[in-house]
Amino acid sequence: MNSRRFVRVSWLARPAGGQYNRDTMTPMHPVRIICFGDSLTAGFQSPTRDNPQGDSTPYGESLQEKIGSAGQVTVSGICGELTGEMVMRFRRDVLAHEPRFVVILGGTNDLGWNGPAHEILRNLVKMYEQTLAAGGVPVPVTVPSLRVEDAGGSREGIEWVAGHLERRYELNRLILDYVQSKNLTAVDLFTATAEPETNLLAREYSNDGLHLTTAGYRLFADLVYRQVLQPVLSKPA
């Protein structure tokens, strides 16, 4: 997750003189949603036989399909980015656009560089709190698990995986404790994409042990939609 690639995509048109659905031309006031993070937000995929170019499939794209004209989704993800770097661009790339919801996923790269969980949380909380102060709703996301296929053959490999899993557990506990203290709604991507028996990242949702597949990103979008957006968007105006 150390290649640097920036992805920013907006799927909803904004014509002059008001806001309209491009297909139906019906007036609307879409909810602005920004998906913010690293390569897991950018939708990075490792190349496979079925996807030899490793084309990105941001979960925000699937999220836009689910909410339709009720919302405007923007994806702002940079591959390899650390949470400290996310904080540095947060005002420019997020708050300046006055979103109602900000889905924030970061920390996987920090963990890869052995960053302490409490320092990662400090950076995440800065973004959560800035969103709240601006009148928006932060949506914290737990970091997913990992998978190393050949690590179980040696004692050192088993210990390496166990250590990296424990650091993910620690960070995710801190994220969920914060969410509970602020009465927010979190998206637990770790639990949703991990094998219950091993807590490793499920093969169904990852082909490289770190990033998600298209199925994984679609699941991510479904979690955000069902747990956070659908209850809000289904309320009568």
pLDDT at 3: 44
Tell me the residue type at 97.
Answer: H
In a domain, 1, yes or no: no
pLDDT at 148: 83
Please check the confidence at residue 25 and state whether its pLDDT lies above 50.
Answer: no
pLDDT at 150: 63
The token pair at 5 is 């690639």
pLDDT band at 53 (very low <50, low <70, confident <90, very high): low
110: Cβ contacts below 8 Å, ≥ 6 apart: 82, 83, 119, 120, 123
In a domain, 116, yes or no: yes
In a domain, 47, yes or no: yes
> What is the average per-residue pLDDT within 46-60?
78
Please check the confidence at residue 26 and state whether its pLDDT lies above 90.
Answer: no
pLDDT at 122: 98
**How far apart, in whole angstroms, are the C-alpha atoms of residue 135 and residue 224?**
19
pLDDT band at 36 (very low <50, low <70, confident <90, very high): very high
With pLDDT > 90 as the criterion, what percentage of the chain qualifies? 71
Give the structural domain span for 180: 6-232
pLDDT at 236: 63
In a domain, 149, yes or no: yes
pLDDT at 234: 78
Tell me the residue type at 56.
Answer: S
pLDDT at 161: 84
Range in 47-51, 66-70, 197-201 the model is least confident about = 47-51
Chain centre to alpha carbon of residue 169: 17
pLDDT at 8: 47
In a domain, 237, yes or no: no
What would the pLDDT profile of 154-173 be if each residue is shown by its tens digit?
777 778 888 889 999 999 99
Q: If you average pLDDT over every residue of the chain, what do you get?
A: 86
In a domain, 85, yes or no: yes
pTM score of the predicted model: 0.85
Q: How many domains does the chain have?
A: 1
Phi/psi region, residue 223 (left: phi>0; alpha: psi -120 to 50; beta: rest), is alpha
> What is the average per-residue pLDDT within 114-134?
97
Greater confidence (178 vs 2) lies with 178
Range in 8-12, 79-83, 84-88, 106-110 the model is least confident about = 8-12
Please check the confidence at residue 18 and state whether its pLDDT lies above 50.
Answer: no
Strands 71-78 and 6-10: antiparallel
Please check the confidence at residue 14 and state whether its pLDDT lies above 50.
Answer: no
Please check the confidence at residue 12 and state whether its pLDDT lies above 70.
Answer: no
Please check the confidence at residue 22 and state whether its pLDDT lies above 60.
Answer: no
CATH number at residue 145: 3.40.50.1110
> What phi and psi values does residue 201 have, to the nearest 5 degrees?
-60, 125
- Rounded alpha-carbon distances, angstroms, from residue 236 to 72, 109, 136, 232: 18, 40, 20, 9
pLDDT at 24: 36
**How far apart, in whole angstroms, are the C-alpha atoms of residue 219 and residue 212?**
10
DSSP conformation class of 74: E
9: Cβ contacts below 8 Å, ≥ 6 apart: 58, 60, 61, 74, 75
The token pair at 110 is 């920090």
> What phi and psi values does residue 101 have, to the nearest 5 degrees?
-125, 140
What is the three-class DSSP state of 181?
Answer: helix
